[in-house]
A and B are shown apart, each in its own frame.
Chain A
Amino acid sequence: MSDVSSLRRMAAAVRFALLPIAATGMLLGSGGASAASAAQTAVDAAKPLCAGGKTITIVWEAGLQSLDPQNFSGPMWEKLTGCKVKVVEVPASEMFTKIMQEYRAGTGAYDALNVVPAWMPDLVQAGALEPLDALVDKYKYRAELKNIAPTYRDNQMTVNGKIYGFPDDGDVFVMYYRKDIFADAALKKAFKAQFKYDLAPPKTWKQFDEIGAFLTEKLKAKGTYGASMFREAGYGNFLFQERFRNEGGRFFDGNTMKATINSPVGVKVFEGWRAENRFMPPGVEKFGFVENLATFVKGESAMTISWPPYGRFAAGYLANEKALDWVPKTTIAGKVGYALPPGGHPQLAMGFALSVASTSKQKEAAYLFIQWLNSEEISNQRVKLPYALRDPFRNSHFTNPEYLKLWPDAKNYLATLQAGSKTGLLDLSLIQTDKYEEALRQGISRLWAGEDAKKILDDIAKEWDTVTQKVGVDKQKAVYNAWAAKGGAYPK
């Protein structure tokens, strides 16, 4: 008890000392924000609920992601409110399974959940998630919810107009490129002579092809390829969705609900991929997150597209962090530039939202914990944890003064993430999304197996139509059209 009160006194002192800065804008640290902050509201409301030592169980992705609630936010919440936090670590590939399984059995074992937004319609339809609107009003969280970056707020929070989760991870695919290579005078000159335009991060996939092939030709002898890319099916799924829509593709015909993924655009994307592999490292067909990361940070490729942690890892900030031992040491710190991928509409791939399980026996306490986690004050601290993988998702994160200081180029990094969040494209999200994505993933693995692009896409379309039939054409059509009407479904 004395612990908490002394903490509070300290907080008050800090608040007083920092008043001038607080007035100018965003402020960090538990004592920083005004008394009515959503974080403080949550803490105050949780204290009586937590009396007697409750435990909130939350599902979190295993590995690095979980270090946040285990080392940082969990212990802090316990200190502030008395509620213990138990983290159930589940690998990403098992998360949906575990959540559904416990829900189906009605165990009430999980109170709060990390949910990928694309799963939300399925989980809501099944009844696994608790609608949060009433609690949001009760604990005055609407104002702070508004400050979540618009794409995430408008697209990853609600199903059928009701709030089911708080967007908590600004996942966006950004292009990382080697500034030193793109600034090399000799390369620039040679490139201009050959292609009649300036060497710069590609704006179109045609440019990407030309630049990539050119750089590989010039630099391969030194061990650097023009580009490397996710090609493994699980990751390729997102890149396909991104490029397909940037090139003008539509997943379905909104009237008939027939799959149109096998349109000429789809074929073009598949064939483009296959052609581009010629200038990428051998074996790129298998590249997932780590393989691609290793290639890039060791200076073996000049461009790549991935999630935000690449930027932080490549910058080598806090490279001594023990939790990041598994990342090969970066050799390119200070040489990395950030841009939007060709087409300008990056995939908002995956992301996580915080939800409350409908079967929880302590929904209110669980709710307060996620409100606190997601609040301006606490989320600003969480997104810059060196080991965590939560990426900026609030307007204030992109301008967080402490974040800007983390490495010399952090400003451009954050600006690019913010730009991406504005033009980004949502993951396809329907009823039984995973069946559609599974067909696509299998198609991608068949592409690398060497099958004909058109044939594969026809099969995917057929599979998609079968799934749609099973779900019910009209039912799925309504869901699809509602999704397609969202700002981030297709490029405007």
Chain B
Amino acid sequence: MSGPTVRSGDRGFRYTLVAPSIFVLLLIGVFPIVYLLMVSFQGLTMTDNDTSFQGLLNFRALLDDTRLWQSLMHTVFFTAIALPAELLLGLAMAQLFIDRMPGRQVFIALLVLPVVVAPIVSGATWSLMFDNRFGPINQILGWITGEEMAVLWTVKPHLVYPAILMAEIWQWTPFMFLLLLAALSGVDKSQLEAASIDGAGWWSTFFRIVLPAIWPVMAVAILIRGLDLFRLFDVVWALTKGGPGTMTETISIFTYVKGFQQFETSYTGAVALLIIVLLTVLLTVLLKRVSIAR
């Protein structure tokens, strides 16, 4: 082929295109990591400006910090419940809306609204909803049970997790729904018909044809939500601030408390690095299993 081809861009041009983005990312992305690395080997606290080298002191302290590991467990627990719940509910909803029905688009448009509400706003809204006295949830329960309910959703240990999960699932199930709906519409209709003619049951059709077809999308959805849940902050903060005690404290809340309320600057640096390392490992493993790239 004569003349210029698209793929043979000159070096200057191709690097000019990426340079601004790389510059911005380095500026905002790399400095914090360098800073965290630096302070995590020092002894900075709220009242102490000790910048001398402390070796691995802060990292060793991580190991003994039960509150840290508990917060990590809480995070895992939230993820373990919320993620499958959102996925299954989202899938069921997608099934409901997969076939044509008049007004379908309107329903879909309304159902996705929770996704774009700011998490801090949705947290505030749910704390109002769950208010034992001025909120509607206890009132509705009261109608169902026929007696006045004063359930303390954000106080009692067996209720805080359901309350937080409810808010979380409310906000993000529509996300799963939207994705899975799109994935389902992409399933080859002729295969489904063939299966139906063969007399395959609903379950076997689902597992043999539908699931493999929607899996790539589902995997991405799980990945995105999984990473988001790992950083869970706003909703828990608005509802319980991590309480009662530290019962619902997530890893992000723990980091915030250590860093921004107690100013354990160096220790927080170590915690932040731990999170980043964990996330990187998690991501690498997941990306290997789930080929996101086309």
Contacts and interface: CB of A to CB of B under 8 A. Distances in A.
- A and B assemble together: yes
Interface of A: 96-97, 100-101, 104, 122, 125-126, 233, 281-283, 285-286, 291, 431-432, 434-435, 438, 441-443, 445-446, 448-450
Given A125-B47, A434-B262, A449-B157, A283 B245 contact: no
A445 B47 contact: no
B26 to A, nearest CB: 21
A233 B154 CA distance: 12
B152 A126 contact: no
B246 interface: yes
16 contacts: A97-B260, A100-B263, A104-B265, A233-B243, A282-B133, A283-B152, A285-B155, A291-B134, A432-B47, A441-B243, A442-B243, A442-B246, A445-B245, A446-B244, A449-B157, A450-B157
A463 to B, nearest CB: 10
Given A286-B154, A435-B262, A442-B243, 5 more contacts: A96-B261, A104-B263, A126-B47, A432-B47, A442-B246
B192 interface: no
A401 B155 CA distance: 45
Contact of A434 (B150, B247, B261): B261
A445 B156 CA distance: 9
B46 interface: yes
Contacts of A104: 263, 265
A434 B156 CA distance: 24
B205 interface: no
Contacts of A443: 245
Contact of B247 (A122, A291, A438, A449): A449
Given A442-B245, A445-B243, A283 B150 contact: yes
Contacts of B133: 281-283, 291
B125 interface: no
Contacts of A450: 156-157
B244 A448 contact: yes
A97 B156 contact: no
Contacts, number: 67
A122 B263 CA distance: 11
A126 B155 contact: no
B132 interface: yes
Interface in B157-199: 157
Contact of B155 (A96, A431, A442, A448): A448
Given A101-B260, A434-B261, A449-B157, A285 B152 contact: yes
Nearest to B130: A286
Specify which of B150, B154, B244, B260 lies most central, judged by the most chain A CB atoms within 10 Å of its CB.
B244
Contacts of B265: 104
B155 A432 contact: no
Interface in B256-284: 257, 260-263, 265
A434 B258 CA distance: 11
Interface of B: 46-47, 131-134, 148, 150, 152, 154-157, 243-247, 257, 260-263, 265
B47 A449 contact: no
Given A122-B47, A285-B155, A286-B155, A446 B261 contact: no
B132 A286 contact: yes
A445 B260 contact: no
Which secondary structure dominates chain B's binding surface?
loop
A449 B46 contact: no
A435 B131 CA distance: 28
Contacts of B156: 448-450
Contacts of A285: 152, 155
A442 B150 CA distance: 22
Contacts of A441: 243
Contacts of B154: 286
Nearest to A471: B47
A469 to B, nearest CB: 13
A445 B244 CA distance: 5
Nearest to B138: A283
When A and B form their complex, which 7 residue pairs have the shortest distance between CB atoms, in order from nearest? Answer: A282-B150, A283-B132, A445-B244, A449-B244, A445-B243, A125-B47, A446-B245
Nearest to B150: A282
Contacts of B155: 285-286, 445, 448-449
B172 to A, nearest CB: 26
A448 B152 contact: yes
A97 B262 CA distance: 8
A92 to B, nearest CB: 13
Specify which of A96, A100, A443, A445 lies most central, judged by the most chain B CB atoms within 10 Å of its CB.
A445
Contacts of A431: 47
B245 A432 contact: no
Contact of B262 (A233, A283, A432, A442): A432
Specify which of A286, A431, A450 lies most central, judged by the most chain B CB atoms within 10 Å of its CB.
A286
Contacts of B261: 96-97, 434, 438
A449 B265 CA distance: 32
A104 B39 CA distance: 13
Contacts of B263: 100, 104
Contacts of A286: 131-132, 152, 154-155
A285 B157 CA distance: 13
A285 B156 CA distance: 10
A282 B263 CA distance: 38
A196 B260 CA distance: 54
Nearest to A281: B133
Contacts of A125: 47
A458 to B, nearest CB: 13
